[in-house]
């Protein structure tokens, strides 16, 4: 007769009790390892501290809210978010910072005339006269800067199929705006009326005037009280944005960042805003 196997349950293993002394010892070991990790981390150098302080001062200056007619700027501050800027429109007080242009009789004819290669040559002659007594920070003639900006735009757009700088096309409008982008800002004798009188097309004048950071209202107050407000205004239009991007890039290319750290940081921040706005609009 086969015997029946009786399965008996094994008694559950007893949990090991950890003494109070061992718990205290483990906590002390964790604290020691944490302190050793902190001691091993590198200390910030004087250069990094100065760079952070300079960037913080620049951000406080750039992101300071300024009252502007027709718009309200709200910033979160440099400690919360470096680039978060919100513009809330106020339709009841809509204000367009644009001077009184002569009436445009035929927009198509003006655009066609601005698309000719001769328009750039005319604008180059005007810019050469306006900047004839001005120099860059390195002592070179100032006219070299707008020419370099126009050439950079030409090189940037030359990758498009069918591009020919010798043929009529929109490229000449952009190049003309680029070569004139500092004329009305740096020389008060050259206004939109002066440029129209010498034959500059109105579409070019409007584009160049959109890049004028020193624009004033009829009462003499500045349209753009801060550099940030100016950059945000430029970023609303594609052509001025493209010109300003190449303008800042050329300024950074020959700027001594050690001597002009704050100015360099300001340019880099503006370049970031413009690049982001161009990428979002494409």
Residue 90 has pLDDT above 60, yes or no: no
Confidence of residue 77 (pLDDT cuts 50, 70, 90): very low
pLDDT value, residue 260? 86
Strand partners, 89: 71
Average pLDDT of span 160-171 = 80
In terms of residues, how long is the chain?
Answer: 282
Report all structural domains of the chain as residue ranges with CATH numbers, in order of start: 107-212 (1.10.3210.10)
Structure pTM?
Answer: 0.63
Q: What sign does the dihedral 94-99-104-108 (CA atoms) show?
A: negative
What does the block give as tokens for 20?
Answer: 């109070």
What does the block give as tokens for 71?
Answer: 């718009």
Question: Do residues 208 and 180 make contact, with C-beta atoms less than 8 angstroms apart?
Answer: yes
pLDDT value, residue 31? 72
Residue 4 has pLDDT above 60, yes or no: no
What does the block give as tokens for 219?
Answer: 């009462």
Higher pLDDT, 7 or 144: 144
Question: Do residues 173 and 199 make contact, with C-beta atoms less than 8 angstroms apart?
Answer: no
Residue 144 has pLDDT above 90, yes or no: yes
Question: Do residues 63 and 228 make contact, with C-beta atoms less than 8 angstroms apart?
Answer: yes
Distance of alpha carbon 52 from alpha carbon 46, whole angstroms:
10
pLDDT, tens digit (0-9, with 9 covering 90-100), for 202-217: 999 999 999 998 888 7
Average pLDDT of span 45-53 = 55
If you write DSSP's letter for every residue of 144-183 in order, what string do you get?
A: HHHHHHHHHHHHHHTTSTT--TTS-STHHHHHHHHHTTTH
Helix (H) or strand (E) holding 89: strand 85-89
Query: What's the mean pLDDT when you consider all of the chain?
Result: 75
pLDDT value, residue 26? 74
The b/e string for 72-106 (b: 16+ C-beta within 10 A; e otherwise) is: ebebeebeeeeeebeeeeeeeeeeebebeeeeeee
Residue 221 has pLDDT above 90, yes or no: no
């Amino acid at each position: 007769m086969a015997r029946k196997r009786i399965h008996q349950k094994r008694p559950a293993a007893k949990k090991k009790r950890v003494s109070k002394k061992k718990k205290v010892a483990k906590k002390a070991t964790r604290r020691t390892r944490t302190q050793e990790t902190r001691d091993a981390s590198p200390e910030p150098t004087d250069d990094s501290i100065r760079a952070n302080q300079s960037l913080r001062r620049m951000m406080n200056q750039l992101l300071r809210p300024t009252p502007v007619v027709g718009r309200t700027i709200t910033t979160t501050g440099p400690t919360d978010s470096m680039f978060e800027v919100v513009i809330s429109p106020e339709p009841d007080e809509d204000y367009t910072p644009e001077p009184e242009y002569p009436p445009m009789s035929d927009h198509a004819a003006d655009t066609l005339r601005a698309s000719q290669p001769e328009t750039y040559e005319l604008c180059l002659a005007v810019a050469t006269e306006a900047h004839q007594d001005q120099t860059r920070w390195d002592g070179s003639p100032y006219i070299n800067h707008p020419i370099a900006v126009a050439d950079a735009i030409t090189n940037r757009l030359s990758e498009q199929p069918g591009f020919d700088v010798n043929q009529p096309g929109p490229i000449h409008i952009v190049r003309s705006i680029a070569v004139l982008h500092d004329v009305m800002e740096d020389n008060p004798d050259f206004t939109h009326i002066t440029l129209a009188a010498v034959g500059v097309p109105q579409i070019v004048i409007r584009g160049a005037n959109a890049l004028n950071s020193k624009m004033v209202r009829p009462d003499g107050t500045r349209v753009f009280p801060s550099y940030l407000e100016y950059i945000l205004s430029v970023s609303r239009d594609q052509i001025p944005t493209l010109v300003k991007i190449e303008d800042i890039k050329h300024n950074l290319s020959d700027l001594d960042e050690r001597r002009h750290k704050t100015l360099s940081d300001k340019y880099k921040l503006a370049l970031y805003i413009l690049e982001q706005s161009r990428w979002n609009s494409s």
